[in-house]
A and B are shown apart, each in its own frame.
Chain A
Amino acid sequence: MNIARIIFVALVVFVIQMTAIHRIAVAGCAPDLMVILIVSLVLERGPVPAVVIGFLLGFLQDLGNASFLGMNALSKSVLSYGVSRLGGGLLPENVLYKGFIIFAACLLNDIIVLPIATSFSIGEIFVSFFRYSLLSALYSALVGVFIFGLLELLTRRVVRPGVGH
């Protein structure tokens, strides 16, 4: 994916995350499309571009927040590095594996974000993590699997007519 396309997709995902994603929230938990996008972008890239992509997408997300500028830049940089280092080599083509990576990435994101957002209140960190983060991560993973599955299906259909010729 070239840089212009990445920027375009990032902006679209950011706008959807800010304006429409709450409409499909379940029990107050909505999927994190930014994490799904980051996983899809950095899974097969090296750690250096992964960190740059994570930082820039996190910063974009921070621009839409009321407070804590830099919080998402921090969490997304770290999770991009982690996904790139640990996640890329094992089963890159497996959709379910990507879902698992998204689940882990969402949890890691919340582990970094929660202490900052709750001003290091231990009780609130635990309650929010078990009440929202787990469900939200699961939801994100399911949405991620659906999106990756759909993309794979579409790619196959596009490729198939060329195979016969």
Chain B
Amino acid sequence: MHFFSFLFDKHLDKTVLAVAVALAIVLLSLGEQSQIRSVRAITSVLLYPVNRVTGSFASVEALREENAQLRAMVATLYQERERLLQFGVERNRLRKLLDLKEDSFFRFLPCEVTARSSTSFIHSIMVDRGAADSVRVGMAVVGYRGLVGRVSQVFPAASQVLLINNKSISVSCTNRRSRVVGMLEWDRGNFFRLEYVGKEEDVRMGDTLLTSGLGLLFPRGFPVGSVFQIADEKGGIAKRVRIASFANLNALEELFIVTGAREWNDTGILDEIDKLEQRRIRKR
């Protein structure tokens, strides 16, 4: 009795604080419980309409400019695709001759960012596609310019994406020019370090890094960033290589979830471009 009186009469404030701290520590050690996951799913659904409304306040002029840029980009990519298709057919024919597995394109599911982590040190976002759109945990997420992250949790109509600058994500990358492989580790902002690169390896300023596909966490061949600083570690056997990511991880809006493979001769993308073009003509 004396003990309880000491706790609840004399030091009620400290007792409540201790209980709150203990409860928070228990929550921290819980891991991913299904009940919490479902509560988070509800949170994500609540956030979606609000984000749509705030997003619609974006400058019309900026949207018009972006639209013009995207149309120009589509036209360029259309030409480029035609050229690459020819290379692809030729490449696959040669790979077949060498008895290697045939390559394929990726299927992209467009999505929009609905929320960001409320804590600036946890790098994650919510997107508006979920299990209903066949999104699965582990799928890669890319932007127009390069790799962005990986789906970590899937809800019915939303998904949580851990960004590549999240502490728990390491990306295996390969140098497009010299094929040197290293592990990408976040440094700060949109800057990363490429770890495990030997002193004698061939890495130059401006080299582009692609996902290597090793470890099977990310599919092969997605651009990640470019080298902007190289230095030798004092007395070490490794190079210190710093990378600037192509995607601006602080300003993500429209992204694509890499949902699976697509054959080289799949013409679905052409139909999509035609539909966009038709819509644009109708609007005029």
Contact = CB atoms under 8 A, between A and B. Distances in A.
Contact of A19 (B20, B51, B162, B168): B51
A17 B51 CA distance: 11
B152 A70 contact: no
Given A18-B47, A77-B20, A78-B17, A117 B36 contact: no
Contacts of A18: 47, 115-116, 118
Interface SS majority for chain A: helix
Nearest to A110: B121
A144 interface: no
Interface string B47-85: 100110010000000000000000000000000000000
Interface stretch (B26-34, B195-203, B222-230): B26-34
A29 B120 contact: yes
A114 to B, nearest CB: 6
Nearest to A59: B27
B40 A63 contact: yes
Interface residues on A, range: 35 or more
B47 A65 contact: no
A147 interface: no
Interface stretch (A94-102, A127-135, A152-160): A127-135
A113 B160 CA distance: 21
A65 B28 contact: no
B250 A28 contact: yes
Contact of A67 (B21, B29, B124): B124
B280 interface: no
B131 interface: no
Given A19-B54, A22-B250, A71 B119 contact: yes
Contacts of A114: 121
A128 to B, nearest CB: 6
A29 B119 CA distance: 11
Given A18-B47, A19-B50, A28-B189, A77 B120 contact: no
Contacts of B26: 70
A51 B116 contact: no
B7 to A, nearest CB: 13
- Most chain B Cβ neighbours within 10 Å, of A18, A22, A127, A132: A18
Given A15-B50, A19-B47, A78-B17, A65 B118 contact: yes
A65 B20 contact: no
Nearest to B40: A63
Nearest 8 Cβ contacts at the A-B interface:
A70-B27, A66-B124, A74-B24, A47-B13, A117-B121, A70-B28, A77-B20, A73-B24
A52 B23 CA distance: 12
Contact of A30 (B30, B54, B120): B120
Contact of B16 (A25, A47, A113): A47
B118 A14 contact: yes
B25 interface: yes
B12 interface: yes
B117 interface: yes
